Amino acid sequence: MADIAALTQLIEPEVEALGLRLVRVKMFGGTSDPTLQVMAERPDTRQLVIEDCAELSRRISDVLDAADPIEEAYRLEVSSPGIDRPLTRLSDYVDWHGFDARLRLPEPIEGRKQVEGRISGVEGDVIVMITAKTRDTVRVPFASIGTAKLVLTDALIKATTPLSTDGADVISVER
């Protein structure tokens, strides 16, 4: 499988050159249908329009064609993070304070391998969550989070009204 850190080093300058912010670089699909997923966003809207996806896809394709960092054939998918977006940076938890999230942990913390609830704050590099069911406060070190994403709620829908509902916000290209 591809080296995500090396791919990120190739991709991030192209994202930033367009005035965008990189959200995630991820390889999935295994050997049967490998897909390189690149999520990015406009810092001011936290979204991308189809033209952003198309331009970023072209730039990334050119860089990846020149460097050839992935041996096997793969699909390149460039997209916005979507409404139930992944939380990949510490700053995401500051940005989305007050919204609901689901954190999956590789190792249990306070007996939990998953924490679902409201993002209550960030204390240094620790995420403070108020659990959905019991209203307990749980502190999770950012480095201990395997994956995390926002949970779809009415409040999140209201806060992320799209710029436009015309067209799609994903470009997928066979490589």
pTM (two decimals): 0.82
The CA distance from 21 to 35, in Å, is 20
Sheet architecture: strand order including 35-41: 21-28, 35-41, 75-79, 170-174
Q: Tell me the β-bridge partners of 28.
A: 35
Kindly list the averaged pLDDT for each block of 10 residues, start to end, along the chain of length 175: 90 97 93 92 89 96 93 92 93 95 95 96 97 93 97 89 52 53
The CA distance from 139 to 121, in Å, is 10
The CA distance from 139 to 112, in Å, is 11
Q: So what's the pLDDT on residue 143?
A: 97
User: Which domains occur in the chain, in start order?
Assistant: 4-82+164-174 (3.30.300.70), 90-159 (2.30.30.180)
